[in-house]
Structure 1
Amino acid sequence: MTGESVRPGRRPAKYVLFDVDGTLIDAVDNQRRVWRTWAERYGLDPDEVHRVALRTRPMETFAQVAPGRDPHACLAALHELEDEDVRSGVYGAFDGASELLHALPPGCWALVTSNYEHRVRGRFLRTGLPVPDVVVDAEAVEEGKPSPVPYLRAAALLGAGPEDCLVIEDAPSGVRSGLRAGMTVWGVNAADPVEGVHRHFAGLREAVPDILAFASGG
């Protein structure tokens, strides 16, 4: 995690907190491929493993699909595959992501991810996306999404109150995290609205003008 709060100065009127995978970076195929390789290594059904992995954190996934295996060894194998995928996998940013992030003023936005910062930086480097001053990753908090802790941590590092923060998410656990943090939550990149979102956009591109307007205090 980028651990230092944003330097004092003229404070932004509003703040935007982004999820990463599924929101800014299209990594669905990568995640499926990584979990398939992992499952095959352990002689498990790849489709079942991926189904569980979509709704649980890795340690919870291992407990369900491989209860007799050492969870730490399982996690080490998964991390190895994920790091290799960052180095060699094919990634794409969602339409509108580059325009949006380059247009946001420094100090008014952050990334809040269940992944690890070094992987986020690798993916952003390969897709040409800028990295903000504040990145809250899996190592930064003891409780991940849907707990409100990750988004509250990002707001604190930015010096922002929850009422001044907009969360951009694609997944139910992230939406719940933002709502529990007392923030405005908009959903993107889904055909149907995730339960609880204040606004829904089928694609990130559609949301760009409204996100920029929010960030400017408009």
Structure 2
Amino acid sequence: MTIEPGRPARMKYVLFDVDGTLIDAVSNQRRVWGTWAERYGLEAEKVYQVALRTRPMETFAQVAADRDPRQCLATLHELEDEDVRSGVYAAFDGATELLQGLPLGSWALVTSNYEHRVRGRFLRTGLPLPGVIVDAAAVEEGKPSPVPYLRAAEQLGAEPGDCLVIEDAPSGVRSGLRAGMTVWGVNTTVAVDGVHRHFVSLREAVPHILAFASGPGGDIAA
């Protein structure tokens, strides 16, 4: 990329999913949904497999259609909040180095969870928090809608074309792509359909993400 003399380089931005991308929460999610299923007399593994593919209200409609969805959600929130307080969490290798190495104001979190839980998990793992967190309460349409990532870009003052999305899940990948952003997949053995670049681990992706964030000439190739 050629920069005209006297024209400042356009800033690059990185937008992160949280669970499965920066924080390893698979065992926590499985345990929470398992406990939820037991309370409703359902088979834990079947419920968890549905929950992996759908948002909570959609999960309830499929596995507990005869139950009050508001009560189902209240129970799930209770279990998730308790897990944030007492569960064991770990940041993926490279997460701390990556987030501490990004320029101030150049990154955000975009999660289908709620901000208070994200803050709790980051506090437990020692990860730094950004100024912008777009959570489930901040948008009416969640992933795979482009709205969450577009909202984060807006709050950062960024153009979608200047944003890199880091995701591990198909719905998040679709969300980033529909927002018109570059999308890289991490922490999966097989690349999610549509990603511009795939890394088996976050650690492998760290130097490339930092290079992207450094601005024009950064590492954006597939």
Question: Given the two structures, how large is their TM-score scaled by the length of structure 2?
Answer: 0.93
Partner of residue 95, structure 2: 97
CA distance in 2, matches of 1:77, 1:208: 37
Equivalent position amino acid for 2:166 in 1 = I
Larger Rg: 2
Please give the per-residue CA displacement for 1:82-132, whole angstroms capped at 9, x wherever unaligned.
Answer: 000000000000000000001111110000000000000000000000010
Q: Provide the rounded CA distance (Å) in 2 between the counterparts of 1:92 and 1:54.
A: 20
Structure 2: state its 5+ residue gaps.
1-7
Gaps of 5+ in 1: 1-9
Which of residues 176, 191, 194 in structure 1 aligns to 2:192?
Answer: 194
1:108 is aligned to 106
Residue type of the alignment partner of 1:126: R
Query: For the aligned residues, what is the CA RMSD?
Result: 1.0
- 1:21-80 deviations in whole A, cap 9, x for unaligned? 000000000000000000000000101100100000000000110001000000000000
- Higher RCO by CA contacts (8 Å cutoff, separation 6 or greater): 1
Alignment CA distance shift 1:66-1:11 (3 Å):
farther
Q: Is the 8 A contact 1:146 1:175 kept in 2?
A: yes
Q: Distance in 2 between matches of 1:153 and 1:70?
A: 31
2:126 to 125, 128, 131: 128
Q: Contact conserved, 1:12 with 1:108, CA < 8 A, in 2?
A: no
Partner of 1:23: 21
| Identity, % of aligned positions | 81
Match of 1:160 among 146, 158, 161: 158
Specify which of 144, 150, 155 is matched with residue 146 of structure 1: 144
Hey, what does 2:214 align to over in structure 1? 216
Measure, in 1, the Cα distance between the counterparts of 2:185 and 2:98. Answer: 16
Which 4+ stretches in 1 moved above 2 angstroms? none
Q: Which residue of 1 aligns with 2:50?
A: 52
Q: Secondary structure at the match of 2:204?
A: helix
Q: Which residue of 1 aligns with 2:5?
A: none
**Structure 1's 43 and 204: CA in aligned 2 closer, same or farther, altered over 3 A?**
same
TM-score by length of 1: 0.95
Distance in 1 separating the partners of 2:123 and 2:103? 19
Question: For residues 65 and 48 of structure 1, what CA distance do their matches in structure 2 show?
Answer: 8
Give distance in 2, aligned partners of 1:17 and 1:57: 21
